[in-house]
């Protein structure tokens, strides 16, 4: 899902970090703001309530002070002689004048003389009667309050609707004769006085028939009116809200129908806080900015190395293991993460190196493997350059290693390979030379700067080096090899082709057994021909293109014809007669050889009755078996069925098996051989001497005959080593009770030498080449005649 860049899910870590913390910061600020504001308002309310309380006490004190002043003035008047005389004398005019003088001195609003029953005797008021009711109420109040000593009670009453504070002073002559009454109007002066000592607003209210009337106030008329309207209902509550403004208030009753209202605006108390809000907001804003900046920087400090780590991880993902990570020196978590990444990179790099080692190196010998060799070859070719450089490859394959491995066990085989690798190591002479093990028993030598002749020379020296048997655990093992040579750029334009050409040359050398060979394009195309032949071979069997050829086997003692070897020929419709070496090796590799074997055996069985010696006794016909035949469990039964078909006995046939065919799978081969022997077939070991098998091992097999390989026989006259070997084989075989046959008897000297050694039978061109069956029968008649009439054709020592 792809989202636009501004969407939160597309934000980078840094942005999320900053946004998250800004939101948190603002939330915390807002919460703090709210709490402070609520607390502040509560504080303001409490302080308003406290101030009202203080104000009420201040009002009380103010009223008490006025009472004291008033009382002093009243006592001065009561003590005045003239006044007391006038009272004694009942002189109303003098009384009234004294009342007026004293009252006006202290600005009293009312001054009067009362009798002991508080009835007005004389006064400064216009109408004494108007004062009478007031004087009576004040007298009653005064009597009720006059208990305390020294204190002057505060008594308030109305005069003409005006609240007034009154005091009484007793008048004695010396007997109490009455009271002096003095009154002070409670007016704006009182409001001003209180205003001077407190920050409160004071309103004096007087009850009328229609409600409360304001007697003294400095409040704006609208507020004053609103207050009066709510004076009764809001009395119990500490605050009142008027026109959206909250006030703390306190009512103080002063007398009947008179009360003082103290007032303080809560909003005014909160105002300082409200003023504080702006700097607070500014500080918050500055904090948010600072935080955003710091957060972004911190986020960058975190995310930049994280991004670098991400880049590094991506590099690792692409397989670039070479670059070490930076940032591992940091001590924080990022540093730890970088360190973890770095150690991960190192272990992956180590694993990769190990994999590379496994991919390019052979564990057994410690040499490069095929992949490693190919890489080295490519490098060498690239380095050689097109001008004059050359790169030679010498490839060799041990001849019988597979069989040795099976016969001796893999552990022994491994040590043999190591020994061979060590021997070959001596040929790594110049810098750049490289030895490698390409596969099981296949080695290759890379020789940069060497041409075909130099490489062939090295190959020949390798051949010589490998001729000395390898001795392990007191067992001497011969490991000859086929060696091929190919050179860049003569034989191939690239490394891969060069390897293939060297291998072709090596296969060629193995087949021809002529020592090391350079790559030969003609031979290569011949082997390609061989391959195409192979596909035709199956049809060839069915279409009767195969021919049975026979080559005689003759007793060395007296020249008697004792048998014949059946050898196949292929009469190809286009190519003419094809010799077996051009298709048998390939047929053997694929198993197509099995049909061929059965055809040959059938043909031999069919012609068996016609093959006779000089006395008319049947010849023993030898038929070659291959590895695939030996591994076929049903072979004995199949051969048995063919014998039945042609009414021939198994004893009339000898089956030739090479050592290597047995060694490919000794157990199965032995089982098959056992069953063949039980049926009555004679068994012969073919090409004896070229393989590894010891005579001791062969003794365990139900074998009747040894066939010494023609390579030894052909050389025995000229090469004393070959002669010694033939002699040894003949003696040993005889000790084991085996018949010895020599193949490759090309001439009389060989015949004579074999005769002297006591070899039993001979086969070779000296007597006859392989012949078509019909020709062989004609030849055998002539030969038998010669033998019957006395042996003279051959020299016998
Ligand atoms: P082999 O079994 O060792 O057969 C003997 C080979 O030596 C034959 O070659 C024969 O012509 C050759 N030879 C005989 N005398 C002499 C001599 O005096 N000098 C020299 N230089 N060579 C001599 P050929 O017929 O070409 O057969 C080659 C190989 O092909 C045989 O070697 C055998 O391994 C294989 N082969 C031939 N026919 C068959 C067959 O029917 N079945 C199987 N499985 N292999 C066969
Ligand atoms: Ca043979
Ligand atoms: Ca042979």
Q: Cα–Cα distance between 786 and 170 in angstroms, integer?
A: 200
Q: Cα–Cα distance between 466 and 420 in angstroms, integer?
A: 8
* pLDDT at res. 235: 65
Residue 527 has pLDDT above 80, yes or no: no
600 lines ligand 1 (CB under 6 A): yes
Q: Cα–Cα distance between 11 and 89 in angstroms, integer?
A: 109
* pLDDT at res. 1: 53
Residues 6+ apart with CB under 8 A from 526: 582
Distance 709 CA to ligand 1 centre (A): 10
Residue 278 has pLDDT above 80, yes or no: yes
Residue written as tokens 């993902």? 317
Q: In the chain, what is the straight-line distance between the N-terminal and C-terminal CA atoms, in Å?
A: 102
Of the two residues 319 and 630, the one the predictor is more confident about is: 630
**Residue 790: Cβ within 10 Å count:** 8
* pLDDT at res. 529: 65
Distance 500 CA to ligand 1 centre (A): 29
**Residue 664: Cβ within 10 Å count:** 18
User: Ligand 1, from 546, 564, 567: best to mutate by most atoms within 8 Å of Cβ?
Assistant: 567
Of the two residues 522 and 102, the one the predictor is more confident about is: 102
Contact indicator for 184, 164 with CB cutoff of 8 Å: yes
Distance 568 CA to ligand 1 centre (A): 9
Distance 612 CA to ligand 1 centre (A): 22
Strand partners, 393: 446, 486
Q: Which residue has a Cα nearest atom 42 of ligand 1?
A: 624
Contact indicator for 214, 228 with CB cutoff of 8 Å: yes
Q: Is the peptide bond before 610 cis (omega within 30 degrees of 0)?
A: no
626 lines ligand 1 (CB under 6 A): yes
Residue 752 has pLDDT above 50, yes or no: yes
* pLDDT at res. 530: 66
| Cβ burial, residue 99 (10 Å; 0-12/13-18/19+) | buried
Q: Which residue has a Cα nearest atom 30 of ligand 1?
A: 580
Residue 221 has pLDDT above 80, yes or no: yes
Q: How does DSSP classify residue 219?
A: S
Edge to edge, the sheet with strand 211-217 lists 211-217, 201-208, 258-265, 245-255, 239-242
pLDDT classification of 522: cutoffs 50, 70, 90: confident
Q: Which sign, positive or negative, has the C-alpha torsion 738, 565, 769, 556?
A: positive
Of the two residues 129 and 544, the one the predictor is more confident about is: 544
Q: How does DSSP classify residue 368?
A: B
Contact indicator for 123, 113 with CB cutoff of 8 Å: yes
User: Ligand 1, from 584, 622, 686: best to mutate by most atoms within 8 Å of Cβ?
Assistant: 584
686 lines ligand 1 (CB under 6 A): yes
* pLDDT at res. 797: 40
Contact indicator for 653, 623 with CB cutoff of 8 Å: yes
* pLDDT at res. 794: 57
- The pLDDT tens digits of the residues spanning 393-411 come to 999 998 888 878 877 888 8
Distance 168 CA to ligand 1 centre (A): 170
Question: Which is nearest to 661 in space by CA: 630, 636, 640, 634?
Answer: 630
Q: Cα–Cα distance between 579 and 592 in angstroms, integer?
A: 16
Q: Which spans in 203-265 are helix H?
A: 221-230
Cα 89 versus chain centre, distance: 127
The token duo for 165 is: 């504070």
* pLDDT at res. 270: 81
- The pLDDT tens digits of the residues spanning 356-371 come to 777 788 888 989 988 8
Distance 735 CA to ligand 2 centre (A): 23
Contact indicator for 604, 567 with CB cutoff of 8 Å: no
The H or E element containing residue 605 is helix 593-607
771 lines ligand 1 (CB under 6 A): no
Most confident option among 33-47, 488-502, 529-543, 545-559: 545-559
| 456: helix, strand or coil | helix
791 lines ligand 1 (CB under 6 A): no
Residue 302 has pLDDT above 60, yes or no: yes
pLDDT classification of 81: cutoffs 50, 70, 90: confident
Q: List the single range of 181-185, 535-539, 603-607 with lowest mean pLDDT.
A: 535-539
Q: Which spans in 80-170 are helix H?
A: 81-89, 92-105, 128-145
Contact indicator for 599, 653 with CB cutoff of 8 Å: no
155-168 average pLDDT score? 86
Neighbours of ion ligand 3 (CB under 5 A): 686-687, 743
What are phi and psi for residue 231, nearest 5 degrees?
Answer: -60, -35
């Amino acid at each position: 899902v792809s989202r636009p860049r501004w969407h939160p899910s597309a934000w980078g870590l840094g942005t999320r970090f900053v946004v998250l913390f800004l939101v948190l910061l603002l939330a915390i600020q807002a919460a703090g703001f709210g709490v402070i504001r609520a607390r502040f308002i509560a504080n303001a309310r409490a302080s308003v309530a406290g101030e009202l309380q203080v104000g009420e006490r201040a009002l009380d004190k103010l009223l008490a002070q006025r009472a004291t002043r008033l009382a002093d003035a009243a006592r001065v008047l009561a003590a005045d002689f003239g006044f007391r005389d006038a009272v004694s004398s009942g002189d109303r005019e003098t009384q009234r004048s004294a009342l007026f003088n004293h009252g006006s001195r202290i600005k009293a609003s009312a001054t009067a003389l009362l009798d002991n029953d508080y009835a007005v005797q004389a006064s400064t008021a216009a109408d004494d009667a108007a004062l009478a009711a007031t004087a009576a109420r004040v007298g009653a109040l005064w009597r009720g309050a006059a208990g305390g000593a020294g204190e002057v009670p505060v008594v308030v009453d109305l005069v003409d609707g005006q609240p007034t504070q009154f005091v009484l002073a007793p008048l004695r002559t010396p007997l109490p004769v009455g009271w002096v009454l003095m009154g002070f109007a409670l007016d704006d002066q009182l409001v001003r006085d209180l205003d001077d000592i407190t920050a409160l607003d004071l309103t004096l209210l007087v009850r009328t028939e229609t409600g409360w009337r304001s007697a003294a106030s400095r409040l704006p008329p609208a507020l004053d009116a609103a207050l009066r309207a709510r004076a009764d209902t809001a009395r119990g509550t500490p605050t009142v809200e008027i026109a959206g403004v909250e006030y703390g208030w306190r009512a103080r009753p002063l007398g009947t129908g008179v009360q003082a209202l103290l007032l303080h605006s809560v909003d005014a108390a909160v105002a300082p806080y409200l003023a504080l809000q702006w700097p607070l907001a500014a500080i918050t804003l500055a904090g948010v900015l600072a935080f955003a900046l710091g957060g972004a920087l911190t986020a960058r400090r975190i995310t930049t190395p994280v991004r670098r780590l991400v880049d590094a991880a991506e590099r690792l993902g692409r397989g670039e293991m070479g670059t070490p990570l930076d940032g591992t020196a940091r001590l924080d978590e990022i540093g730890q993460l970088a360190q973890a990444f770095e150690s991960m990179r190192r272990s992956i790099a180590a694993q990769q190196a190990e994999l590379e080692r496994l991919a390019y190196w052979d564990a057994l010998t410690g040499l490069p493997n095929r992949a490693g060799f190919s890489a080295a070859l490519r490098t060498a070719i690239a380095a050689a350059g097109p001008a004059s450089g050359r790169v030679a490859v010498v490839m060799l394959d041990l001849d019988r290693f597979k069989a040795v491995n099976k016969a001796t066990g893999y552990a022994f085989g491994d040590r043999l390979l190591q020994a061979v690798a060590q021997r070959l190591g001596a040929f790594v002479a110049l810098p750049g030379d490289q030895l490698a093990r390409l596969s099981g028993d296949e080695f290759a030598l890379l020789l940069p700067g060497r041409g075909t002749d130099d490489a062939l020379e090295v190959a020949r020296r390798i051949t010589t080096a490998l001729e000395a048997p390898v001795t392990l655990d007191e067992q001497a093992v011969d490991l000859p090899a086929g060696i091929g040579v190919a050179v860049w750029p003569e034989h191939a334009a690239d490394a891969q082709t060069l390897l293939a050409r060297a291998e072709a040359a090596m296969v060629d050398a193995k087949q021809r057994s002529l020592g090391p060979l350079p790559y030969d394009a003609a031979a290569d195309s011949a082997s390609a021909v061989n391959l195409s032949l192979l596909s035709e071979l199956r049809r060839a069997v069915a279409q009767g293109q195969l021919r049975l050829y026979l080559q005689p086997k003759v007793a060395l003692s007296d020249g008697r014809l004792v048998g014949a070897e059946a050898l196949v020929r292929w009469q190809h419709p286009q190519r003419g007669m094809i010799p077996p070496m051009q298709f048998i090796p390939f047929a053997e590799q694929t198993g197509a050889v099995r049909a061929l074997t059965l055809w040959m055996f059938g043909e031999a069985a069919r012609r068996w009755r016609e093959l006779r010696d000089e006395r008319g006794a049947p010849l023993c016909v030898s038929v070659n078996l291959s590895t695939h035949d030996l591994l076929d469990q049903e072979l004995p039964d199949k051969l048995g069925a063919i014998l039945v078909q042609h009414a021939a006995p198994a004893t009339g046939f000898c089956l030739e098996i090479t050592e290597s065919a047995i060694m490919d799978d000794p157990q199965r081969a032995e089982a098959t051989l056992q069953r063949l022997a039980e049926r009555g077939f004679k068994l012969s070991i073919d090409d004896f001497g070229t393989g590894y098998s010891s005579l001791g091992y062969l003794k365990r097999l139900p074998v009747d005959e040894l066939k010494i390989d023609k390579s030894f026989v052909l050389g025995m006259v000229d090469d004393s080593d070959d002669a010694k070997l033939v002699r040894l084989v003949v003696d040993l075989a005889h000790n084991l009770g085996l018949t010895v046959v020599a193949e490759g008897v090309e001439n009389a000297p060989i015949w004579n030498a074999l005769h002297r050694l006591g070899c039993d039978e001979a086969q070779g061109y000296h007597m006859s080449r392989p012949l078509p069956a019909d020709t062989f029968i004609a030849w055998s008649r002539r030969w038998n005649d010669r033998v019957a009439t006395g042996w003279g054709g051959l020299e016998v020592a």
